[in-house]
Amino acid sequence: ASRSKVPFPERAARHSHPVAKRLFSIAEAKKSNLVISADLTDSKKLLSCADDLGPYIAVFKSHVDLVSDFDDSTIQGLKDLAAKHNFMIFEDRKLVDIGSTVQKQYHGGVMRISDWADIVNLSVLGGDGIVEALDETVTSPDFPYRDQRAFLILAEMTSKGSLAVGSYTEKCVELARKFPRSMMGFVATRALNEQKEEGDAASGGEEDFVVFTTGINMASKGDKLGQQYQTPASAVERGADFIIAGRGIYAAADPVEAAKRYQAAGWEAYVKRTQG
Ligand code: 6AU
């Protein structure tokens, strides 16, 4: 059977990565595969979004470089709300530089991403080095959050004219296979892991990448700047495990009502896929 038909509790039990295990368990407990993309520009709005929508989401995705007053209290606020509502934090940093630079951008720096973000994404434009470097950081015996941090490779993009296609996307899959202790899956518009079957000897066992799909909106087909949308149902049918929605929720007249609707649509599509 295709891997995307396996229900979350089973994937949680069998997954080799502790962050993936936790993620699937949270999704199951909350009956939510929804990720809010909280692209808000000040801490107060960011934290009230996390508090208001916390009950309906599995993951809270931030872009803290666009928060004008980001500081330690923003970090503490996010951590407290993650504990209160049982969600994970995903910083949409899209790291993309040489290995040595991304290590410093990820661990330390003004944003201290490794201190609070369970999940971070990256682009492999620069080749293997970035993945090697981040893998080295989070698997080091000195890393304080060992087994509590994971990465997603940005393997495709939702924007018009994206160059992340074909052999570039294939290279992303290859790199994720090479670094299973840190690379948990992809941000992609579809499942990228169907070609390989369970128990493949080359990977030393089972492979189960987690697929996050963004560009989700139930009311719009896109924006004026090239963003292209699909619905929760179509994304999940194509293999999304988690659906990421931003403006469709936080810019709605009633964001809580919208979050509930996206949660229900995403979960219903997941149930249909795994039971159908
Ligand atoms: O739902 P929206 O259009 O308001 O927000 C989409 C969010 C934004 C983008 O920075 C991000 O998803 N995104 C990503 C991610 C998550 O890496 C990749 C991509 O290809 N397209 C995309 O929109 O925060």
Q: Could you tell me the pLDDT band of residue 63, with boundaries at 50, 70 and 90?
A: very high
How does pLDDT run across 1-34, given as a tens digit for each residue? 467 899 999 999 999 999 999 999 999 999 999 9
The pLDDT assigned to 196 comes to: 54
* Catalytic residue list contains 94: yes
246 assigned ligand-binding residue: yes
Q: Is pLDDT at 51 greater than 80 in this prediction? A: yes
In this prediction the pTM is 0.96
How does pLDDT run across 249-259, given as a tens digit for each residue? 999 999 999 99
CB 208 within 8 Å of CB 20: yes
Instruction: Looking at the CA of residue 250, tell me the nearest atom of ligand 1.
Output: 4
* Residue 271: closest CA among 29, 28, 108: 28
How does pLDDT run across 262-276, given as a tens digit for each residue? 999 999 999 999 997
Percent of the chain with pLDDT over 90: 93
CB 271 within 8 Å of CB 37: no
CB 267 within 8 Å of CB 241: no
Q: Is pLDDT at 195 greater than 90 in this prediction? A: no
* Catalytic residue list contains 223: no
39 assigned ligand-binding residue: yes
- Three state DSSP letters for the chain: CCHHHCCHHHHHHHCCCHHHHHHHHHHHHHCCCEEEEECCCCHHHHHHHHHHHHHHCCEEEECHHHCCCCCHHHHHHHHHHHHHHCCEEEEEEEECCCHHHHHHHHCCCCCCHHHHCCEEEECCCCCHHHHHHHHHHHHCCCCCCCCCCEEEEECCCCECCCCCCHHHHHHHHHHHHHCCCCEEEEECCCCCCCCCCCCCHHHCCCCCCEEEECCECCCCCECCCCEECECHHHHHHCCCCEEEECHHHHCCCCHHHHHHHHHHHHHHHHHHHHHC
Distance of CA 145 from the midpoint of ligand 1 (Å): 26
In this structure, the residue with its CA closest to atom 2 of ligand 1 is 246
Ligand 1, from 60, 152, 214: best to mutate by most atoms within 8 Å of Cβ? 214
Cα 74–Cα 149–Cα 2 angle in degrees, nearest 5: 125
Instruction: Looking at the CA of residue 94, tell me the nearest atom of ligand 1.
Output: 17
Distance of CA 142 from the midpoint of ligand 1 (Å): 33
CB 229 within 8 Å of CB 221: yes
CB 3 within 8 Å of CB 15: no
Residue 45, φ and ψ in degrees, nearest 5: -65, -40
